[in-house]
Every structure is written in structure tokens, then in C-alpha cells.
Structure 1
Amino acid sequence: MAVLPVLRWPDRRLATVCAPALPDDATRALAADMLDTMYAAYGRGLAAPQVGVLTRVFVMDTTWKEGSRAPRVFLNPEILHRSDRSLTGPEGCLSIPGISADVTRAAEITLRWTDPDGQARQETLSGFAAICAQHEIDHLDGLVTFDRLSPATRAALEAAYSAGAK
């Protein structure tokens, strides 16, 4: 497997809505590389557009930092339900290093996706797993953390990011 370069905002590919993924050998290889990349970058989730592949695939492992690895791969995820209860907390992004912003997300979601072997899956995720999945699905829809912020907060964090990138 390989560690891939992670695109950094404002790369235009991060603002692109991704095409459907196929459960084939190429997608399985991509997912394996994405997991290697995510672990190497010390992340908990990574979406295909973050490595320059504009397809609806994301990987996540929300508990590996506290214990053993439990990698998950999601193809063509779709949120079927969002709870009325929400959580607000800091989110970082491997494509916007050094920036963390408070984002409000549904505390629980029901997610449907296809696994790498082509099997349909559905599960209710809550807490951090739900937040992580929503963050990664945003990437598949061409959104980044900045897109979830008020104009004033976004402007301040974009300026801080730009100043730090020099």
C-alpha cells in the first residue's frame, strides 16, 4: 500500500461534487491507500477527493487512537436520517492543517452505503462516529469545514490559515 499526498485547501478539487464509486479492485486499492494515508497523517477520516480522486469513497477509524485499529470503508454513502439533537465541537481537517473550528452536526445519523465487496450496508452512527461520517460526506459533496461556518468566523480562519501557509 501507499501513503498518498493530501490536497490542501483551496485546491479546487476539494470543491467538486464526486461521482459514484464502483466496488472494484481499483476502489479497494484506493481505499487501502487512503487508510495508510489517514493513519500516517494521524487522522480519523479521509475522503477520496482529499487525495485527488473525485469518487464517493471515504474511510474512517474513529477509535484507533484509543486502542486497536478498526478501519471502515464507505462507498456511495447516503444519510437517510439525521437526529434533531445536535452536537457542536471542534473539527480539524487533514486538508486544512492547523485549523480547528466549532461545527454543529447531527448527534446521530442513519447511514446507508456499499462496502468494498459490493454489499449494501446500513447503520445508525452516533457521537463522534456520526460527526466524522458527516464531515467526510461533506468532502464528497464538495464542502470543507469553512463552508459550515458563519461568514465572520470563516474569514478569520481563512486569514489565519493563509498566514500560516506562508
Structure 2
Amino acid sequence: MIRPILIHPDPRLKKVADPVADISDELRALADDMLATMYDAPGIGLAAPQIGVLNRLIVLDCIKEEGAAPQPTIMFNPEVIAASDETNTYEEGCLSIPDQYADVERPAEVSVRWLDRDGNLKEQDFDGLWATCVQHEIDHLNGKLFIDYLRPLKRQMITRKMVKLKRERARS
């Protein structure tokens, strides 16, 4: 089921999500809905707070090559356990901040630990776009948006555009 995505500014996007204590069928169904919502948007990552659910759950799939097999990844309680000193800058966007992009500098490589949909503990190293995406989505779980890395003036400009977009959508 495709879920509506919250648009910034929404107070739920600034809240810290709660850890998942037990991976239930309900949460697995939520993860499946999140993947469907992400692919439909289309995007490469989605965090539960973006659909109004304050649980530590993210989904991602950074495979963008035409004809390449998708790699849907579901992470419960993801955490960065190591990060490189080397950084990368990517132009980031966000499904909760549509059509707005900005360069964000983050560690180039990260090691992440999480629980998969069956409750198994996983650990993996990510680099490139995957590293950027997983950090971006984990930020959502901590109430942080990519625009929080920007200078105040740029952040305010984007926020004003989102307020206008929400007003326009409410009218239609």
C-alpha cells in the first residue's frame, strides 16, 4: 500500500524515532508499504517518520542502472558504527522536500549495524551513493533533515517554498 509522505515543515519530521523492540508482522507489512511508497515516489530511500510513523525503520535501494536487479534493503534500528575520515559531497534531495536539492558533505564510507525483517543482526560497509543514502535516512530517525546541513538563508528559502507547496496542495 502506498502511503502519503509528509512534507516539511511537519513537526513529526523533527522528532526522534523510537527503537523497534520486536519485529512483528505489522512492522514487516509497514516496511513493505514503505518500499512500495519509495519506488512509487520515485526515491532511493525512505524513513518511517516520513510517513508519520515514529519507529526506527528505513528502507533503501540505490540501484539506478537500467535493467539492473533492484536491491531493496529494510533496516530496523540502523546505526552507524564507524565512519571514514574521508568525505564525499553529493547533491541530496528528499521525498519530504520535493524538487529541492543541495550539496551535503558526509563521510564517504560507513559501517552500519541493523536488524533485518527477520530480526537477524546485520552489519555492512557502505560507500558511494549507498553511504550517503543510509546516513540521510538514519538522520531522519534522529529528527534531522538534509537542509539542516545548509546555511540558514538557504534552509529558510527551501522551507518557505515547502510552506507554499503545502498551501497549494491543500487548496487542490
Assess same fold via TM > 0.5. Answer: yes
| Matching residue's letter, 1:16 | K
Distance in 1 (CA, whole Å) between partners of 2:24 and 2:79 is: 19
- After TM superposition, give the deviation of residue 163 of structure 1 in Å: 4.4
2:75, 2:114 within 8 Å by CA — same for their partners in 1? yes
Following the alignment from structure 2 to structure 1, what is the Cα–Cα distance between the partners of residues 161 and 91? 16
Contiguous gaps of at least 5 residues in structure 1: none
Measured against aligned partners, the alpha-carbon deviations of 1:37-69 in whole angstroms (never above 9, x if no partner) come to 000001000000001100000000000453221
RMSD, matched Cα: 1.3
The 3-state SS of whatever aligns with 1:53 is: coil
Alignment identity in percent? Answer: 45
Measure how far apart 1:137 and its partner are: 0.3
**Alignment partner, residue 37 of structure 2:** 37
Do the aligned partners of 2:23 and 2:117 also contact (CA within 8 Å) in 1? yes
Partner Cα distance (1:57, 1:81) in 2: 19
Identify the residue that residue 146 of structure 2 maps to in structure 1: 145
Aligned to 1:158: 159
Q: TM-score when scaled to structure 1?
A: 0.94
Q: Structure 2, unaligned stretches of length 5 or more? A: none
Contact 1:76 1:114 in 2 (8 A): yes
> What amino acid maps onto 2:121 in structure 1?
A
Residue 103 of structure 1: how far off its partner (Å): 0.7
Equivalent residue pairs, number: 165
